[in-house]
């Protein structure tokens, strides 16, 4: 009888420990901050003129409040195509998240952006969407597409690929 009690107690303790460990992994503490760095492939498309495109850098940061909502900021700069140079872009966005699995998420962004080209500075409503895939417990690979500006005489879009670190 005593021989059966010891393995049974060990089995129950192991099941309890693995259950606690699984719950800790599945329920992160909120708000959860994150930062990221991306390659920014931007395109300025004026009506009736040739478009300008180049590659810059973008830094992102934000706070995730639960599995479905976050706020995020973007700061980008760099790249030129002839007469057009991206001095900076800065924006703040609400982020709606759709968890597909524990490691993979789709998201949409909507907010305001200010963009400064060497010839012009504009601000306006921005929107876009993307995806993230966890490659380690606190590290994700992400990609998104944003329409940063949609003015009557031009649009400014960017696709980005980079890494996000959650802390």
Residue with tokens 């949409």: 108
Cα separation, 59 vs 97, whole angstroms = 19
Q: Spell out the alpha helix ranges (H) of 1-160.
A: 2-26
Return the CATH number of 29-166, one of 3.40.50.10140, 2.40.160.20, 3.30.1490.20, 3.90.1530.10: 2.40.160.20
pTM here is 0.81
Per-residue pLDDT tens over the stretch 28-70: 788 999 999 999 999 999 887 888 899 999 999 999 999 999 9
Domain boundaries along the sequence of the chain: 29-166
Q: Judge whether 57 and 40 are in contact, CB under 8 Å.
A: yes
């Amino acid at each position: 009888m005593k021989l059966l009690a010891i393995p049974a107690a060990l089995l129950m303790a192991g099941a309890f420990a693995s259950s606690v460990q699984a719950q800790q992994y599945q329920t992160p503490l909120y708000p959860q901050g994150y930062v990221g760095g991306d390659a920014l492939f931007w395109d300025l498309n004026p009506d009736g003129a040739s478009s300008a495109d180049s590659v810059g850098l973008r830094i992102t940061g934000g706070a995730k409040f639960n599995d479905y909502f976050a706020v995020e900021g973007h700061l980008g700069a760099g790249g030129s195509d002839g007469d057009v140079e991206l001095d900076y872009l800065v924006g703040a966005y609400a982020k709606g998240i759709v968890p597909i699995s524990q490691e993979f998420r789709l998201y949409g962004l909507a907010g305001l952006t200010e963009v400064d080209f060497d010839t012009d500075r504009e601000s306006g409503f921005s929107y876009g969407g993307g995806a993230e895939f966890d490659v380690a417990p606190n590290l994700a690979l992400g990609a998104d597409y944003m329409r940063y500006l949609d003015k009557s005489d031009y649009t400014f879009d960017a696709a980005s690929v980079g890494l996000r670190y959650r802390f």
